Chain A
């Protein structure tokens, strides 16, 4: 066994993911920012927009849920672990920083996918037809990877105070929700709004979810999928590079 081999590091990163699932899924901030926040946002929007079709609303809920859940776990893990000194334990173990980050991302991805599938089931129970199931599954998987990488990116500043990171995280996440076609359909946005929307990966995911439920879409489906894939690769590479640089500063 070569402990530094890729396969061995992936195995060890799964141990990190299992540990995260056991410890962090039921932490207060994760539940508040990951589950209650999107539900209440959706309910507030639902009350104020009775004229919008159910398919539009549920698509927005699915997009928002995945975005909030997949970005709820990952930003807080490093500060929590830095505070509890358990990060130092991991740093002295034979696992690379990339594998630790990948393990944290995996836990975040699974949390996001799990909760989002519940909202999909709710949509189906309300009578929405699922027209493109495979596309939806691919979109959920890709977007969960992308959003968890964003979550890890938010945890890059080497602070060991979780509330600082949660604040920074909210500061970035909320504007993204408003520019990504969740509350305002993309075809009703002004050009500058569309320009902003194109910079947000959430836009492409929401577009794919709408396509899956209603067959309507703003961008071509291959563009949506490619954009999500590119964002995922870029965010993952950047987050691993930056964490490698900042990790020693947390100790």
Chain B
């Protein structure tokens, strides 16, 4: 790839990204950072878990994204009685015109480019795992037959932090399948005023597609491939590795004492991790950091990742991977606090 071609590809990526964000912003009031994180995960090839109270625009964001990219979109409302086949599809007996009967696979709602799994924690683990297999493998298995999902495949699952009774908390292994987890904050006063004004007027805002329907999937895949080409220096990779490792309590506890030797800040972060973290990030956390940072680099017009890119996506990439213990809950410590401490300590450490 010559410099000219590479530069043009980066510019094209920036333009597409900005156009999609602009279209979404027409209907989604506020949540700019959330939209950017979701788009980042989308182009990085990952899935997103959104936690937010009902009515904050989760469905609207995903629907708008699908409309802007001109991709197919499905929504599944997870309930306790939802079965895996309700997601993946099922085989039914179909009688042909000649009277012969045969099993025919009827694809479920998972067969879409963009899927909104609303309140995923209300379904049973069996149903959840059906979706999670599709997320990880990009395919669905029904009656021993695998059916690949058409790329791009993007799942945006939501969690309702209230009404936790009768819910099934996602196991850590399944949480790990999501590239990012974002928190959808309640809109501010000004945003709320704009939401009320925009959604109740006679003329409703609509999203215009950025890509044409025929070429949209291929175009999105091309952009996703471009992301993978972004260069990462070894020291940045080392930084990511230290960051991930520092979230692991065993590493922080067992340590070699290097933390204390290197300075109080790192020692403090290690102490927090050892005290409040039950499970640290998996290696997938590192992959999420790098992939997200690559998108950030492209958005900044750079062909390489910097430390700042890593920092920008660290919270979204590690928040759901750092599982806190009861001590943290009792002390009112959340994952963001621990991750920020780790970031501050690891930021300037030699790789």
A interacts with B: no
Interface residue ranges, A against B (CB under 8 Å): none
